[in-house]
Structure 1
Amino acid sequence: MKLAKTTYSVQTVDKAFEMLELLAEQTNGLSMAQLATQIGLNRNKAFRLAATLCERGLVEQEKGSGVYRLGVCSVALAQKFLRNANLVNYAHPLMEELARKHGEAVYMTVIKDDEVVFVDMVDCDRHIKAAPLVGKKFPFATNAPGKVLKALDSRELLEKLMTRRGRRGGSADLDLLESELDEIRTSGIAVDRDALGDGISSVAVAIRDYAGMVIGALTMLGPSFRMLQNRLEQEIIPSLNEYAEILSMKFGYAKASA
């Protein structure tokens, strides 16, 4: 039975989660004044809450600037959760193989409502690479993994999602989006350039379960000058297809014979 928030929730715990979620969305950290304002507490209460989280290692305060960031214990806690999730647990060893084989970052991405979420990553060891995206969320219609994850949705659902986000969801032309998703639905593959950052290209391949539903997308991401079309077609896409099929089979998916 769901408990009523107004009756049973503890405000301090609720505000602690607000603070953690707020810091998780920031790459440059936040000052105490910013934290207090955005979570709706006075500076004294916000400081005591942050100090408690710092003691637990969930938040860290940067020396010099004094800004607050997520602490290493938050990352460790998130990683423990992710490792216990079946999709990530099964996928991670395959992602490590792909990253070693091609020298590019590999991600596991899933859909939450109308956003794609980057939930796990194996980075490459190259000097030039994209900034990590683990924990980041993007509107589904703006990038390759999001389109792979939403390719099976009906036009009515797509229209509802696009209307909800307005122009922030990507192209306002629903017909164009649906046409693109039709191609992705057939191939199970999507490619984008500059969608996740200038000069960044990504390739995403669908992972399916026993019912044929898309449950995740195996995504490779790297600088566009390395992700050339010839390399994509001859090396990266065949590898992603192979590993996505192996992963899908772990969830009971059987590819239809020709």
Structure 2
Amino acid sequence: MRETDTNYTIRNVKKALELLEKLAESSEKIPLQSLADGIGFSRNKTFRLLATLIEKGLVERDSITGEYQLGARTIALGRKLADSSNLARHTREILREPTDGSNLVTYAHPIMENLARKHDEAVYMTVIKDNEVLFLNMVDCDRLIKAQPFIGRKFPFFTNAAGKVMKAVESWDLLERICRRDDGRGSQPDLEKLASELQEIRVTGVAVDDGGLGDGVISVAVAVRDYAGKVIGAITLLAPSFRMLAERVEHEIIPSLQEGASLLSARFGYLPA
């Protein structure tokens, strides 16, 4: 009996690993029957295995279609494996810091769409590249009057909310050296004012900037973190200043961006203390 139980357990573990492999190989969500056929298991047994994997965060089930995909926990496990192994440096960077935009854009886009629809303003996914903010992806609004698109453009981090919220966690000595460099564009901030602003951002976790990206343009940003708490990007909303009244920013936009950033951070395994 003991040997039979052991064999049964080993078979289930193997089938569970096969399920994870099937889900990892597909860029689309997979229905239950296809997964069952793929691993040669009955529909009921496959469902029970998937339920266990969902409980552990390794698999997610679409509440509408009932289809399955890899869960956020697999991302965190992949990064931890990369940190503790001798994988090539470029592989570690892709896993630990998804600023190439692949996973970040994929996971962020539905959240950005919800925010853009809710507030009818342009929402961006932004990342840091060489101490500059890169506006990586955008969901635009339907308004006639709006800020010009910034998709694909880079700006010094201290000129906008996204850069400030992503850099606020870094040491001031490093930031001061960066800000004092001559970037060829003559853009150097007021260091005393910037230091005070970053200190406030560290406390609130939110950055608001007026005019840094152009006259009459206000940007609001909240940082996105990975499993280790590292800032990997920022969800950023841009709009003309005449629509960004203080009450609207404080009571509508900031809470929405915080919620969106929390959801996205959770996809990358972040668990706030």
TM-score bracket for this pair, using the shorter chain length = 0.5 to 0.7
> How do residues 165-184 of structure 1 correspond to structure 2 at under 5 angstroms?
165=182, 168-173=186-191, 175-184=192-201
> How do residues 23-38 of structure 1 correspond to structure 2 at under 5 angstroms?
none
Match of 2:255 among 215, 238, 254: 238
Pairwise CA RMSD: 1.8
Structure 2 unaligned spans of 5+: 1-98
Separation of aligned partners in 2, 1:90 and 1:190: 22
Partner of 1:60: none
Question: What does the per-residue CA deviation read over 1:116-154, in whole Å, with 9 as the maximum and x for residues that have no partner?
Answer: 110000000011111100011111111111101111111
Between the two proteins, what is the percent identity of the paired residues? 63
Partner of 2:214: 197
2:181 is paired with a residue whose SS is: helix
8 A Cα contact 2:180 2:188, kept in partner: no
Between 1 and 2, higher relative CO (CA 8 Å, sep ≥ 6) is seen in 2
Larger Rg: 2
1:165 is paired with a residue whose SS is: coil
Question: What does the per-residue CA deviation read over 1:28-48, in whole Å, with 9 as the maximum and x for residues that have no partner?
Answer: xxxxxxxxxxxxxxxxxxxxx
Q: Does 1:185 align with 2:202?
A: yes
Separation of aligned partners in 2, 1:229 and 1:165: 34
Partner of 1:208: 225
- TM-aligned CA deviation for residue 234 of structure 1: 1.0
Structure 1 unaligned spans of 5+: 1-81
Partner of 2:138: 121
Partner of 1:24: none
Q: Does 1:148 align with 2:140?
A: no
Match of 1:134 among 151, 166, 184: 151
Separation of aligned partners in 2, 1:238 and 1:180: 20
Runs of 4+ in 1 over 4 A off after TM superposition: none
8 A Cα contact 1:141 1:169, kept in partner: no
Provide the TM-score with structure 2 as the length reference. 0.61
Separation of aligned partners in 1, 2:109 and 2:241: 24
Provide the TM-score with structure 1 as the length reference. 0.64
8 A Cα contact 1:139 1:170, kept in partner: no
8 A Cα contact 2:101 2:136, kept in partner: no
Question: What does the per-residue CA deviation read over 1:70-111, in whole Å, with 9 as the maximum and x for residues that have no partner?
Answer: xxxxxxxxxxxx997001110001101100010000000000
Separation of aligned partners in 2, 1:103 and 1:114: 30
8 A Cα contact 1:218 1:244, kept in partner: yes
Partner of 2:102: 85
Separation of aligned partners in 2, 1:178 and 1:216: 21
